[in-house]
Structure 1
Amino acid sequence: MIPPATAPLFLEQAGWPHAAIVPLAGDASFRRYFRVIEGGRRAVLMDAPPPTEDPRPFIAIAEHLCQQGFAAPAILARDLNEGLVLIEDFGDLRLKEYLEDQPGEELAVYARAIDLLADLHQRPVADVPPYDRAVYLREAGLLTEWYAPATGLVVDAPAYVAAWEAVLPLVEQGSAPVVTVLRDYHAENIMLIDRPEAKGFNAHGLGLLDFQDALAGHPAYDLVSLLQDARRDVPAETEAAMLAHYKAVATPGADFDAAYAILGAQRNAKIIGIFTRLWKRDGKARYLSYMPRMWGLLERDLAHPALAPVADWFAANIPADKRHDALVAFAPE
């Protein structure tokens, strides 16, 4: 986490000539984040180095969300050639850590996160590509591309695609509204910013991060991201209560429960593939520790009748001993 060599000049030109640059975080991509401190003010430096990363989608979605009244980080400065973006600092209070300290607040805080989604789903859709069949299939295919070989399985990949082709029409039908899908709306990307000096503060008191991959799609997807969290156990009763709350405050469309299960299975299959890739390709073995949770969520989604073709494929191609903790032995202690 050494700052890029061009960071000091960038910060000087942005009006932060004497700022200290402190490592903050990396993520599953090649982006890195640093906290910038000068006197009594703070900001966050995003290092999104080209050509592997492009900060323009983040900037565009951040500006769209702010225009709609949501708390996305304000863009303070940018150098697209170097992939450097200076953004508003929302602090350190993520929803995940807050609930570790205040477990009794879970339902109240999740209800606020659901209200934010319901609000977002009533606003104009961002100028982003559609979450269409090709994207769904490409993402679901990460499981057969990465997980199956890692476990030594030879699977029927064409039948896998055919199974998804059989179930995806339900989430593509016109009865559900098309909304801005943030795609990584979960407890590590939602900040609590209940303080009057926070720029972009709105009635929800929640700051949004990691939305650069937003697409236009089905409203159930971000509920899956939140309630079937890859990195945090969300109790089944909390998930059920929040789904009921969403239905009470939003217009979910027909067959919403089936759509939720289909998108849950699609997302969880994708994440299993991504986490395997992060280990095999990028050397990030820590993601293997999430596999038991991901398989548990996927199997629960597959139990929905709307997913029968996909469930049948899994039963025929990935036996029980090749799921859950099949790769966890490779994770570091």
Structure 2
Amino acid sequence: MPQLLRYLCDITAQRDRARLEKHVVRTLYDFLGVQQVSIHRLYMVQDKPLTGITTWADASGLHHVDDDLCWPKGTIPLAEHPQLQQIYQDGIEKTETATQGRLVTALPIQRGEQLFGFVEIIHEQALQAQQIETLRDLTTIYSNCIALLDYSEIDSLTGLLNRKTFDEKLIKILSQMNAHGDASRHDHNGVPSRREGHYGGDKQHWLAVIDIDFFKRVNDNFGHLMGDEILLLVATLMKRSFRGEDKLFRFGGEEFVVLLKPVKLEDALRVFERFRQTIADYHFPQVGQVTISIGFTYITAQDTPSQVIDAADEALYYAKTHGRNQVQNYEQLIENGGLQRKDNKSGDVELF
């Protein structure tokens, strides 16, 4: 028991999701004495569930795949994993099946009211009652720790990720891209490179800055409570419009940020244009029509956080000063002469 308490102290001390997950898997593996322990994350794409293993422990050691950059290798539709699919559909607490002479036990991992993923145990002998109790308790502790991390990372008004979390996520993405040898933003002539993306082809990570047009008028004419309602509705429409693996942030005030996982330029344009149109078509109570402007840019390993944000801000500023209610891409604006590259960017752009 004292050893288990030391493991629990280590688990509850973690403030990083990846380290937390690794500690939970290691603890389960050590205390259950099984062949393998795995965490399967749940991803939603257009309301279709996928699952992939992010952390596992077996006789070869402890392994982790960070899913901030991309889904884990081997991510599959949840329907191809019947045991996990049963938990997802029926909401059952535990399943145990025999596969190729092995027993497989799986439990859901909750994230508040939502299903976050699954813990899967591969073992030769049936789990004893005390082992099952340990498995359930540690899974519950993991869920509680996730909830606490969510509380510190979530914007209280909109339910989106907050500015502090954005800074951490962007730095993490840049450091991981550096570790994988991503190319520079510029070619030898200082022109935006049309180089292949980190994942091959021309897929890129994208950062978009989204700003509600004339938001000050909403506050002035309808009051700050209605202004908050508009922010909440925009955030709700964001959650419906983007993929589950895309990161959505409230950057501050009426400004939002999206970190889009790797897609081609034309796909990124289509995603952002579709969201712009969704907002423009939505009838906001009392206010009527609200529009947004979007500026976006791709991310490379050679960027600093300020460079990425500045590039997206410049594209946003161009959209704001050329009619609003539009989507602009920084690289295209540089290429067609709409913007000129600046050696020293000035930081935040004043939009009003």
Normalised to the residue count of structure 2, the TM-score between the two structures is 0.31
Q: Which is bigger in relative contact order (C-alpha 8 A, separation at least 6)?
A: 1
Which structure's residues are more often helix, by fraction?
1
Which structure's residues are more often strand, by fraction?
2
Normalised to the residue count of structure 1, the TM-score between the two structures is 0.32
